[in-house]
Amino acid sequence: MRTDGRATGLRTMMLLVATLALAMAGATIPAAAASAQDVSTQALNHKSPFDCGKTFYANNWTGGHNPSNSIDWQSHGGDAVNGERVRATAAGTAYFYNEGATSYGRWVQIVHSDGTRTRYAHLATQVRSPGSSMAVSQGTVIGTVGSTGNSSAPHLHYEQRNGSGAVVTPVVDGVRVPLGTKKAVTSSNACGGNPYTPKEVCGSGFSTINSHAVSGGRVYLMYNGSTGYNCVVTIKTTKIGTPSPVSASLQKQGGTMGTDSGNFSYYAGPVKRHAPGTCIRWGGSVGSSSWTSGWSHCG
């Protein structure tokens, strides 16, 4: 049966108009009507980029907000966004940048496993220096909210991009925020468990060769066979996100003990020593619970 191209074009136009009307009204658009670009990011189930339980306004402004379809996160009720920790909305590799007093200012781009990307801009601080990168889990802290770059007030500029780099309609914690809408979103990010892993803390090339539990956490010994470096990190399992005493230590036989200790929110370390073919002693603590190994891992 032959299809009338004009009729098909009319039906397509009517669908687009209806979809736009729903979006402008803040209604949820059924999956069948969502664009292919939107679907490519929704599959990752992005969470809000803030601490568990925090509520902020997600504003998808019209009229001059660049790029279109990006979110400005701003204060809501008693929650003030300035200085808040910024977390990865999904796992991937984070890249750190600094544009100074222009554009995004201090910002981070995370490339996710499916090739999609998220951007976090106008940060006051970053957990890594510009030009560096790190693997992140969903919920990993990447910086804090500020007003760097071309910004007139503290807020977090946030984007979701597809694999081709196009900005798509953002969906966070199951809330779709179409162009022209402003929605209050409560974060479910990092609501359980420590968002950091020993490998993320020690860096690329390290693998776990041993670990030991302490009350309130676990001490990990990592090793990089290519470089001959050992790395020790203590990951908290209690009081996560709240500063409390934690430490990590590592000593190469014949050398001095290296220690990282203090009131930390998530982990202590990394403490690294180059010790190929040399025995090492390692340990850590959380609160009053501590553990230190004997001389070991001499190969």
Residue 10 within a domain: no
Q: Could you tell me if residue 159 is inside a domain?
A: yes
Q: Which of 155, 186, 217 is the last residue in one of the domains?
A: 186
Domain limits at 205? Answer: 198-292
Q: Over range 97-113, report the average pLDDT.
A: 97
Taking the CA atoms of residue 264, residue 265, residue 266 and residue 268 in that order, the dihedral angle to the nearest 10 degrees is: 0
Is the same domain home to 154 and 237?
no
181 with 237, same domain: the answer is: no
Share of the chain above pLDDT 70, in %: 85
Q: Are residues 179 and 232 in the same domain?
A: no
Residue 14 reports pLDDT greater than 70: no
Same domain, residue pair 73 and 159: yes
Domain boundary residue among 186, 209, 229? 186
Beta bridge partners of 136: 92
pLDDT at 289 over 90: yes
The answer as to whether 65 is a domain residue is yes
Residues 133, 50 share a domain? yes
Q: What's the pLDDT band for 17 if we cut at 50, 70, 90? A: very low
Band of residue 262 on the pLDDT scale cut at 50, 70, 90: very high
How does pLDDT run across 136-159, given as a tens digit for each residue?
989 999 999 999 999 999 999 999
Q: Which of 42-51, 90-99, 160-169, 257-266 has the lowest mean pLDDT?
A: 42-51
The pLDDT confidence band at residue 242, using thresholds 50, 70 and 90, is confident
For residue 20, being part of any structural domain is answered with no
Are the CB atoms for 145 and 158 separated by under 8 Å? Answer: no
150 and 285 belong to one structural domain = no
Q: 5 in a domain, yes or no?
A: no
Q: Same structural domain for residues 75 and 159?
A: yes
Highest-scoring range by mean pLDDT, 76-90, 93-107, 186-200: 93-107
Q: Please say which residue of 186, 217, 247 terminates a domain.
A: 186
| One domain, residues 225 and 82 | no
Beta partners for residue 267, in sequence order: 235
At 18 the pLDDT is 39
Whether 18 maps to a domain, the answer reads: no
63 shares a domain with 149: yes
Residue 283 has pLDDT above 70, yes or no: yes
- Which secondary-structure segment (H or E) carries 7? helix 5-24
Q: What is the largest CA-CA distance in the chain?
A: 85
How are the residues of the chain apportioned to helix, strand and coil, as percentages rounded to the nearest 5?
Answer: 10, 40, 45
Domain assignment present for residue 9? The answer is: no
What is the average pLDDT score of the chain?
86
Same domain, 53 and 127: yes
Cα-only R_g, the chain: 23
The string of pLDDT tens digits covering residues 31-52 is: 333 343 444 445 689 999 998 8
Q: Is the pLDDT of residue 272 over 90?
A: yes
Give me the CATH number covering residue 143: 2.70.70.10
Give me the pLDDT at residue 274, please: 95
pLDDT of 23 reads 36
What total of structural domains would you count in the chain? 2
Whether 141 and 64 map to the same domain: the answer is: yes
Is the pLDDT at 6 greater than 60? The verdict is no
- pLDDT of the residue at 63: 83
Task: Judge if 109 and 233 occupy the same domain.
Answer: no
Mean pLDDT to the nearest integer, 49-57:
92
Task: Write out the H or E segment, with its range, that includes residue 199.
Answer: helix 198-202
